[in-house]
Each structure stands twice: as C-alpha cells, then as structure tokens.
Amino acid sequence: MSKIKLLDEKTKAQIAAGEVIERPASVVKELIENSIDAESKFIVIEIKNGGKSYIRVTDDGTGIDKDDIDYAFFRYSTSKIRSVEDLNHIYSLGFRGEALASISTIGKVEALTKTRDNNMGIQVLVENGKIKEKNIIGCQDGTTMIVKDIFYNLPVRQKFLKDENVESNYIGNIVNKLSLGNPNISFKYIRDNKMTLKTPGNGDLSSCIYSVLGKEILKGLIEVKSTYDSIKVYGLISNNNVYRGNRSHQYIYINGRYIKSYFLSGIIQECYRSLIPINKYPVFILFIEMDPQLIDINVHPTKQEIKFKNEKAVKDVVQGIIRDSLKSGLKIHDINFTESKKDEKSKENIDYIDIVTENRDDKHYNDNVYDYYNEKIEEQQKNGYNNYNEREIVVIDERENNTQKPHEEYNFIDNNTVQIKNIFKNCRKVGILFSTYILLEDRINDYVYLIDQHAAHERIMYEKYKKEYENENVAVQMLISPEVLDLTNDELNLVKDNKELFNKLGFEIEDFGYSSILIRGVPLIFGKPNNKELIYLIIDSLNNNIKSNYEVKIEKIMKIACTSAIKGGDKIHDMEIDSLINELGKAENPFTCPHGRPVFIKMSRKDLEKEFKRII
C-alpha cells in the first residue's frame, strides 16, 4: 500500500505560510512593507497582547482597487513582477505575492481599502485564505489591515510563541528597522493603547534617528556619503566614542530594504579595529544603493538575507568609504581634561572600601573586559565555582625546565590547601606597582604576592551585592541630582518590562517624558559608578536574552555592575589597602574576580634568586 500521499491545498498553504510568517512580528513586517510599496506617507501600527490577538496597520497609500481585491489574497498574485526576468530589477520590498495569502491562512483578516479614484471603499473578511464576506463601505484613502488571533488554527505553532512582552519587542525591532529605513514616512507605533514611537516623516534621517535611537547616540554619529564604481553609500556611523555591547544598533539597507549581512557587518567592524574596545560594536545606519542585478535577495523567505555576486568589490568600496569618513570624524579625549580628573581623584579621601574612585581614562578597557571573561567564569560554574583546583598546579620550586619565560613561572594559588587569612596574616605591605598591583612580602614562608586591586575589589563587591540581592535587602543610595537617561523605544520597553528586576537590584527608576527615564537611586555598594553606562550595560544584557524569554542571568548583571570597582591605575591609600586585604580574606572565593581572572599571584624567593643567578 502506498505511503506517500499528496497534501491537500489547505495543508500546503499552512506549511507555506509558516515559512513566511514565523510570529506576529512577521505579520507586521509584511503589512508595513506593503504600505511602503503603496507610496504611503503615514503608517500607524497598533498591537495588543504582543500582536498575538490583534494587529492593525493603517496607511494613506494608493489602496487596492476593487477589481484587484479578490486576487490580493491569492498566493503568487502580485503587481510587482510579471516574469522571472523582473527579479533582476526589483526595487520594491514585496514582490512574490505571498504576504497577504500567508497571513490570511494563519490569522483572521479584515481589510478596508480605498483608492483615490473611487468614491467608496471595500471591506473584506478573510479566513483560511478565503474571502468570507465583501462589502462596499465609506473609508479614507489607503488601506487598513486588521489581523486577529495569530495561529488560531495551528495550536502547535501558537504554543511556541513567547510571552507578550517578548513578542512586542520583536515587533518594536521591526518597526524601528523599517522607520529608520524610510525617514520620509511618518510612523506611529501603538502598543496596548500607548504610543511608544512616533517619527516625523520629514525625510531627515537625523530626525528619525533622534526619535528611534535617542539624542545620545545621534550626538556621536558621523555622516557618510560617497559613490564609487556605481555603488552609493550614505548614512550615519558612530565615532570612536559611541559603541554598544551587541549588534542591535546596526542597520543596513540595500536598495531601501533592511537586510542582515554578517559579511557587511564584519567588514564594517574591521574598520573600527583598535578604535573601540574589544567585544564592542559600532552603531550605524547605512544605506547602500547598487544595481539589483549584482545582488540576489530571493535567497530566504523573509528576504532579509542577500548574496553579492562580487563580494570583494563591495568590500573594497564600503571599507574605503567608511575609513575615509572615520578619519575625519574620530574624537580624541582631551588630555588636559583627563589629567585634571586624575589630579582630582588623587585628592579624594575615601574612608570605606565600598566608596570607590571615579573611573579613569582607562575605563573603556576595564568596563568592557567582562564580555570575554563572563564566558570563562560561566564555564567554570558548570562544574563548581572554580575549576582551578582541577588543573595541575605548577610548583615553581620543582620546575625542571629553567628556560621558561618569567611570566610562565607565576602560578595560581591552590585554593584547596591554602587559607587566605593565614597567608595575609604573615605578610607586610611593601608598596603598589604601577598604581595597580599591591605588593605583599611573606618573610616567614619566603613568598611575594601581587594582588590586582581592581580584580580584588570586584570580587568583594560582587559577593556583597549577591548576598544583599539574595536576602532582598540591597541598600540604595539616593542621588542628590537624579540623572536623566535617553533610551530607544526598545530599550525603554525593556526597562519597563523589567522594572521589578531593576528595583530588586537596587535601582530607583521613574518614567521621565516620552523616551527617557530618571535614575533616582543606585545600589549603595557601587559608590560612585557611571550610572548611565551601567544601565546601558544591563539593558544590553537583557536584550541579549530576548531569545530565552528574558530568563535574565542575574549573575551576569552583577558582574557587569561590579565594573564600577576600583580600577587599575587608581591611587588608593593605606587604609583602603588594609580594608581591601581584610575583606578579601573573608570572601568565599578570593582567587578569581567575577569574570574569571586571578585576583593574586605568588612567586617564591628562591625563584627570584634563580632569575638573578644567585643560586643554580
């Protein structure tokens, strides 16, 4: 008996729809792109319950003619192309005739549309890809598409949707991308009856960026505009002082279409090498116009991935233009200003170890090193808090190979056998090297210890903060002058959706205006952190967990927060050193900082004498 059967038309339609429509954000994307192709100047997007129960997109575009409405919901019916040759000249966002057909297959659709040439409009109700009802009505020029109950007929797909906050943020990301790519169109985004985004639609990219990404980012952008070998590149890119912890602020448009291209992102990132910290990413809104025949946009159902026929030519042109723009737009820190900050800090009197000095000019390196070390420490935590005890400890005294390089002679202290309190009890302070490493001498056991003041303070702060958080008694210090923080639409939603988490972490935050928050209080343990940068880092951490339904890694956030610890190069006094050593002796894990780096190392007197050839 034959096991292979042909699928019925309904099943085939639902499978095909699943390739185009993955979630409510996919519906919003397809509807907005239709509105853009319809030459709209004004587009309103309204959603409820993360778009799962209600999506409405209204535009003032050309509308759908009454004679075409019956075909609009048929698969592969389109006004954009007539033959395969037309794919080589595509400038419209949609062209395959799949969007409305797919949407009407997995949701309940109501369409209201009117062209400028007709006195009356049309209302149609569509379910399972078929028009159930059609009426002549009075309505404004343009089209309104209402989609209800996404995946109502596919309960398995419905189960895989995230909660409404996550789905809303996916939609917000789509709206941001399409609004930035079309500054000549005014966008309004309404989420659960609250307007969260409005762009002016005046054709000015800077005004659009101000509305979507905020003024703080806009201030650090450089204009790019150049044409070479028939490839036109224009837009705005960040200078060396503006960068983020992920690629969420990178927007690339090819012939007006937003695309994802690791190739393009990678070659742009190369231009910033040595200009921004490691594991940080530039911000850019970049438009590239080129002959459609040189690209293939039909390689993925979402049309967000493309292939270039000549990647080398594209790389040479784009990198050349970006590098030329960066040369004239780099911002250099004022040396005199930096030196004055150092002088001010050296005069500060700090009474307690919890009160830390302000960040120095090396803050970018120190504050951003957590990206690399977070991964290391998280790997260690899988099999216990530290894995160093599983490593073979190299004992310098028994070294067989005397040709080792000096830096290979240092070893981590065996945390299974050594009691930190006893070690430090026998030590005396000798001094501080390079304003970073505390030098201790143990004359009884003939050892020298070097403590990294930044790593040590991070460990102390981390454990105190973690304990306060677990006991739900994080001490808060109210700021004398509350700080205003401008956020993008997505960032603001993340803060609102996680306000309880911020409160539990010790942050007093209030809404302030249309797209800003007011920071009134921060955890007391941080002393004097860069509050704005700290909030941004936490937001980036939350944003990175969007795929895991916001299962926020509290440990990671705490590690980020502890970057406000004393930095390498900060001058600290004897009382602070004593407090640091005393607190380190009380730590549960004094051997590594929260990011996995060693807090201190040791060297024996015998090994020093060997290096000076005093003994053989």
pLDDT tens figures, 238-278: 987 788 989 999 999 999 989 888 899 999 998 887 677 77
- Count Cβ atoms below 10 Å from residue 414 Cβ, excluding itself: 13
Among the ranges given (37-51, 200-214, 327-341, 540-554), the one the predictor scored with the smallest mean pLDDT: 327-341
DSSP one-letter string for 505-535: TT-EEEE-SSSEEEEEEEEGGG-S--HHHHH
Angle at CA 372, nearest 5°, toward 329 and 596? Answer: 140
E runs forming strands in 512-614: 516-523, 600-604
How far is residue 372's CA from residue 594's CA, in Å, rounded to a whole number?
Answer: 12
Exposed, middle or buried, 473 (CB in 10 Å: 0-12/13-18/19+)?
Answer: exposed
Residue 433 binned pLDDT confidence (cut-offs 50, 70, 90): very high
Number of H helices, E strands in the chain: 21, 22
Rounded to 5 degrees, what angle do the CA atoms 185, 187, 189 make? Answer: 170
Q: Which amino acid is residue 239, in one-letter code?
A: N
Q: Please say if the pLDDT value at position 350 is more than 60.
A: no
What is the per-residue pLDDT across 530-543, written as a single tens digit (0 to 9) for each? 677 778 877 877 76
Model pLDDT, residue 470: 84
Domain boundaries, the chain: 10-199, 214-329
Angstrom distance (rounded) from CA 168 to CA 191? 8
Torsion of CA 487, 489, 495, 499, to 10 degrees: 130
Q: Which residue has the tokens 């490691």?
A: 278
Let me know: does 90 contact 83? Beta carbons within 8 Å: no
Q: Which of 62-71, 103-112, 398-407, 434-443 is predicted least confidently? A: 398-407
Burial class (CB in 10 A: 0-12, 13-18, 19+), 345: middle
CA separation, residue 538 to residues 6, 72, 497, 501, 507 (Å): 52, 45, 13, 11, 11
Instruction: Report which of 60, 49, 4 is spatially closest to residue 167, judged by C-alpha positions.
Output: 49
Q: Where are the beta strands (DSSP E) in 300-454?
A: 307-308, 427-433, 437-442, 447-452
Span 91-103, average pLDDT: 66
Q: What is the CATH number of domain 10-199?
A: 3.30.565.10
CA 230 to CA 255: how far, in whole Å?
13
Closest residue by Cα to residue 559 from 366, 387, 415: 366
Which of helix, strand or coil describes residue 67? coil
Neighbours of 424 (CB within 10 A): 19
The answer to whether residues 524 and 247 touch, using CB atoms and an 8 Å cutoff, is: no
Is pLDDT above 90 for 134? Answer: yes
Top-confidence residue, 471 or 392: 471
Which two tokens mark 60?
């003032």
Cα separation, 184 vs 305, whole angstroms: 24
- Residue pLDDT, tens place only, 357-389: 333 333 333 333 334 334 433 443 343 333 333
Mean pLDDT, rounded, for 158-180? 94
Between CA 340 and CA 230 the distance in angstroms is: 49
Give the pLDDT score at 590.
82
Rounded to an integer, the average pLDDT of 26-38 is 93
pTM: 0.62
483 membership: H or E segment, kind and range: strand 476-486
pLDDT range class, residue 339, cuts 50, 70, 90: very low
**Fold exhibited by the domain 214-329:** Ribosomal Protein S5; domain 2 (3.30.230)
Cα separations (Å) of 281 from 38, 220, 228, 360? Answer: 35, 14, 26, 22
For helices 531-544 and 554-561, what crossing angle results, to 10°?
Answer: 160
DSSP state of 371: H
**Residue 527 burial by CB count (10 A; 0-12/13-18/19+): exposed, middle or buried?**
buried
pLDDT-derived band at 15 (thresholds 50, 70, 90) equals very low
What pLDDT score does 300 carry?
52
Same fold, 10-199 and 214-329: no
Taking the CB of residue 403, how many other CB atoms lie within 10 A of it?
6
Q: How far apart are CA 2 and CA 388, in angstroms?
A: 61
Euclidean distance between the first and the last CA atom of the chain, given in angstroms as a whole number: 87
Task: Please say whether the beta carbons of 272 and 241 come within 8 A.
Answer: no
Kindly report which listed range (71-85, 110-124, 158-172, 436-450) carries the lowest average pLDDT score. Answer: 71-85
Average pLDDT (403-411) is: 36
Structure tokens at 84: 């395969």
Residue 478 has pLDDT above 80, yes or no: yes
* Residue 276 CA: distances (Å) to CA of 244, 270, 320, 371, 373: 10, 11, 18, 14, 18
561 has a pLDDT exceeding 90? no
How far apart CA 479 and CA 520 sit, in angstroms, is 6
Q: Above 90 in pLDDT, residue 279?
A: no
Q: Residue 398 pLDDT > 50, yes or no?
A: no
How far apart (Å, rounded) are the C-alpha atoms in residues 482 and 518?
Answer: 6
Q: What pLDDT score does 535 carry?
A: 80
